[in-house]
């Protein structure tokens, strides 16, 4: 990889893809290669729907992707690279969008590192650090019929407590891919699979709501399934480390987490297998009021 000048991409060749919104970060992607542009548009499609709902967004960040003779250039406000393959451009684009989204939300709101889902009157928030299996859980839940909010991050509305979704493609790392063979991508040039949640079929649109329950997924190899009902104070302490940049807004973050744990049951779900996760989720759902 090496930096490139921002004027490398010729404006005359650009095909506008769409506008997108990721946790309030408003951006557009222009790509001069129709095939890659279509691929990107497909990956970002769930964010495009969110972008259309943004009524008064500031000027979007422009991301420009250009095909060169032996590379693909990626030029954005905070990143300019030459990348050797389409797959690496896709990897970098999704990483970049994610980092910008998280930076955006942590500068003005309360964002949690979390997966989230909704079905009928139940909205589940599942905060956890990277590597805890959020994306695997997300894929399993969506496959089981849940509406997808995110496998990575959500914002909690400071006024209403509603979850604000970030429906990025579900990122399945190699260790989890065998569990979901039905969504193997046609183009195999990325290490992770980036899965459109609609690959498992249409789901009802998300209806904004505070979470009905919070489930902290905790992968522990070889362990038995266990569910712990956390008292509010302990729940607060478990949730705080999943908050993006807590120090940027401690008063707001304390208020949001306080309200969350006072009004919402919080469980720790320890599991070793996907089947245990589903079993644990079913147990938790039986015990909470819909």
Partner 1 sequence: MTGGPPDEVRHHHPEGVVAEPTGDGLVLYLPFPESLHLLDPSAALVWQLADGRSPADVSSAVAGRFPGTPRLLEDVVRTLDDMVERGLLIDGRSL
54 contacts 26 by C-beta, under 8 angstroms:
yes
* Structure tokens belonging to residue 1: 């990889």
Scanning 74-82, 85-93, 192-200, 229-237 for contacts with partner 1 by CB under 8 A, the matching segment is 229-237
- Rule CB under 8 A: choose which of 258, 282, 283, 287 binds partner 1: 258
Q: Tokens 């000027």, residue?
A: 59
Number of residues located near partner 1, criterion CB under 8 A: 18
Q: Where are the alpha helices (DSSP H) in 8-115?
A: 34-43, 45-52, 86-108
Kindly state whether residue 125 participates in binding partner 1, applying the rule CB under 8 A.
no
CB of 236 to partner 1, least distance (A): 5
- Rule CB under 8 A: choose which of 233, 286, 289, 290 binds partner 1: 233
31 contacts 40 by C-beta, under 8 angstroms:
yes
Q: Which is nearest to 29 in space by CA: 54, 1, 66, 57?
A: 66
CB of 257 to partner 1, least distance (A): 7
* Structure tokens belonging to residue 156: 């909690």
- Rule CB under 8 A: choose which of 231, 275, 282, 283 binds partner 1: 231
Kindly state whether residue 240 participates in binding partner 1, applying the rule CB under 8 A.
yes
E-assigned strand segments in 129-224: 147-150, 153-156, 163-164, 170-172, 193-195, 213-219
Scanning 95-103, 165-173, 202-210, 242-250 for contacts with partner 1 by CB under 8 A, the matching segment is 242-250
Kindly state whether residue 183 participates in binding partner 1, applying the rule CB under 8 A.
no
267 contacts 213 by C-beta, under 8 angstroms:
yes
CB of 237 to partner 1, least distance (A): 5
Task: Enumerate binding residues for partner 1 (CB under 8 A).
Answer: 231-237, 240, 246-247, 250-251, 254-255, 257-258, 261-262
């Amino acid at each position: 990889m090496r930096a490139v000048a921002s004027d490398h991409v010729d404006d005359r060749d650009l095909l506008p893809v769409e506008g997108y919104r990721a946790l309030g970060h408003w951006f557009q992607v222009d790509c001069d290669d129709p095939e890659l542009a279509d691929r990107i548009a497909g990956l970002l499609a769930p964010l495009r729907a969110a972008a259309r709902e943004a009524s008064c967004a500031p000027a979007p960040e422009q991301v420009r992707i250009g095909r060169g003779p032996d590379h693909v250039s990626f030029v954005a406000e905070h990143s300019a690279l030459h990348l050797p393959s389409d797959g690496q451009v896709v990897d970098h684009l999704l990483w970049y969008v994610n980092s910008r989204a998280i930076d955006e939300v942590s500068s003005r709101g309360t964002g949690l590192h979390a997966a989230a889902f909704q079905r009928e009157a139940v909205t589940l928030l599942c905060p956890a650090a990277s590597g805890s299996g959020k994306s695997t859980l997300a894929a399993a839940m969506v496959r089981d019929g849940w509406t997808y909010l995110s496998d990575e991050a959500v914002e909690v509305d400071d006024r209403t407590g509603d979850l604000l979704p970030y429906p990025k493609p579900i990122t399945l790392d190699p260790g989890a891919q065998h569990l979901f063979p039905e969504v193997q991508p046609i183009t195999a040039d990325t290490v992770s699979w980036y899965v459109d949640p609609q690959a498992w079929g249409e789901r009802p649109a998300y209806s904004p709501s505070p979470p009905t329950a919070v489930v902290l997924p905790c992968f522990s190899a070889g362990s038995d399934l266990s569910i712990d009902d956390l008292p509010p104070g302990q729940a607060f302490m478990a949730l705080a480390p999943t908050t993006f940049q807590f120090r940027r807004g401690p008063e707001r973050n304390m208020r949001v987490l306080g309200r969350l744990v006072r009004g919402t049951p919080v469980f720790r779900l320890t599991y070793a297998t996907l089947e245990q996760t589903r079993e644990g989720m079913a147990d938790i759902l039986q015990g909470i009021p819909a």
